[in-house]
Chain A
Amino acid sequence: MRAASQSPATVTGCEPGFRGVICVSFGAANTLADHDAGGMPRQDFRFASANPEALANLRSVLERSCVGVRLVLAGPPADVHAAASAVAECGLVDEEITLLCDEVGPRVIFCGHCHASTTTDHPIGTDVDCRGCATTLTFTDHFSRRVGGYLGFSAHAEEAA
């Protein structure tokens, strides 16, 4: 996760019982400024990243909302996936959530050996060093929605002495 620099002005919250569209964007660009909410009332939130504080804010917004709400999450894949995982725990189903991931941007690699998460800008199919155990990991498109990341495994284990 990147450093948090979130403005308190962005989390004024919805009124209790909100059932419109909650638009949440992460990162520098306000990717949802032009998002079409289909005529439903909308609430916008912007966070620098999906850090624990931002996710706690998002959860409390959802706790005040009611069934009928739609959630749109936009921004870098690492942030969108982390937020999607957090809101799934609130009981939201796929039909209630729209994920709009930037095509490029950081992704989370989950180390299959030590289970640490490493954020990287590298594309799928390349290597990255695990932040937890320093193993050089290769990763594919095998993705876990709960972890919010891709599975990485030792790139050179077979040839190691």
Chain B
Amino acid sequence: MNTVLNDTVRDTDVLPERIKHFPFPFSGDIYRYSANVEPSRKIITTEAGAWGGRLVHIDEHYLAELKDRDEVLERDPSRLQVLPHMRPAVWDAISTLLPALVEEYPDTLSFAREGNSCRWRNSLQDLDVEFTIGDDTSLPMGPLRFLGSQIQDDLVFLDHRQDALWLDAGVVTFAADWSVGFDVGMKFMEVHHPVPRVKEEKIASRAEQFLMRLQPGEQYRRTNWTLTIDRRLDTSTETYPDWAHDRITIADDPALPDRLHLRVEVQHMIRLPHSGAVLFMVRSYLLPLSDIARVPVWRENMGRVLAELPDDMAEYKGIIHYAKAASDWLLAN
């Protein structure tokens, strides 16, 4: 018994950062949809380390992921959508998130505001920029694209009106199988229409009620997960023809443990203070099964969750063709 414990401790000590800070989403052997919201910034310790102390998390993939986002937007500008009435919400997000980022990374970032004139410095990108809140021309790439070039999270803006939330703006380059170009302008409930079980179990309507009651200053988060083949962040509907075929071939690929990734979205929900819009921030983490397997409890948890997952949920998550192969590998090793 003692030997086992000591081994575990030693293993954890030498684990790389990407595993130590990974937001492993399973706490048992069964997964179901739930409105699993909790206050944000609460640190969650895992078998491998901890995650969750920050609203915005900058990690070793920062520059690479922002380059990825920029390339996606160059290729397909439809991933950025701002319906005209959402301009104030976008500026509100800028004036809310930049100071929040500085609080978390004061050594590398700085933000100064005098009236509506702002100065933003980001030493990670060697950036020093001045702009005026409310003046779209003061940020040549546009305010939302600028904000999207500073943080790894995808951003989705929900307008609150007529007793509902409406997805009316967003910069979403790392979508897990959806299209912001199609969804923009929809009500929250319409966005979630394709998710199985959600209607019967009233999860989306409860989540919407919760979000409509959020007050400025409150921050909540939840996690969601799926599986992604290769380190591919852009698994949008737009690029589906490029990656869908992998879903069939991966099950028999000997490289499955390195190619198949657990994809976890840490979703933060905040009420923007001035516009009143709800901001949904979606940060996607990818970790290959070979890394998951380095943490024995994770390996077993995830193996059992995949083995038990009902078909309708596996189908919706797009993992039905290879969930068993993944589960078999995890539970065999």
Contacts and interface: CB of A to CB of B under 8 A. Distances in A.
Contacts of B244: 154, 157-158, 160
Which applies to chain A's interface (DSSP): helix, strand, loop or mixed?
Answer: loop
Interface stretch (B117-125, B132-140, B235-243, B281-289): B235-243
A161 interface: yes
Nearest to A149: B182
Interface residues on A, range: 20 to 34
Interface string B230-251: 0000000111110011011000
A65 interface: no
A95 to B, nearest CB: 8
B88 interface: no
A144 B166 CA distance: 12
A49 interface: no
Interface residues of B, number: 22
Interface in A104-144: 110, 112-113, 115, 135, 140-144
A144 B245 contact: no
Contacts of A151: 179, 182, 237
A113 B241 contact: yes
A140 B194 contact: yes
A147 interface: yes
A134 to B, nearest CB: 12
A42 to B, nearest CB: 26
Nearest to B179: A112
Contacts of A153: 237, 240
Contacts of A160: 241, 244-245
Contacts of A93: 162
Interface in B142-195: 162, 179, 181-186, 190, 193-194
Contacts of B184: 146
Q: Choose among B181, B241, B245 the residue with the greatest number of A CB atoms under 10 Å from its CB.
A: B241
B240 A113 contact: yes
A154 B190 CA distance: 21
A94 interface: yes
A158 B185 CA distance: 29
B78 A115 contact: yes
Nearest to B236: A112
A161 B185 contact: no
Given A112-B182, A158-B244, 16 more contacts: A93-B162, A94-B162, A112-B237, A113-B237, A113-B240, A135-B241, A144-B183, A144-B185, A144-B186, A151-B179, A154-B240, A157-B240, A158-B245, A158-B247, A159-B245, A160-B244
28 contacts: A93-B162, A110-B182, A112-B182, A112-B238, A112-B240, A113-B237, A113-B239, A113-B240, A113-B241, A115-B181, A115-B238, A135-B241, A140-B194, A142-B194, A144-B183, A145-B185, A146-B186, A147-B185, A151-B182, A154-B240, A154-B244, A157-B240, A157-B245, A158-B245, A158-B248, A158-B321, A160-B241, A160-B245
In the A-B complex, the 5 residue pairs with the smallest Cβ-Cβ separation, listed nearest first, are A146-B185, A157-B244, A112-B237, A157-B241, A158-B244
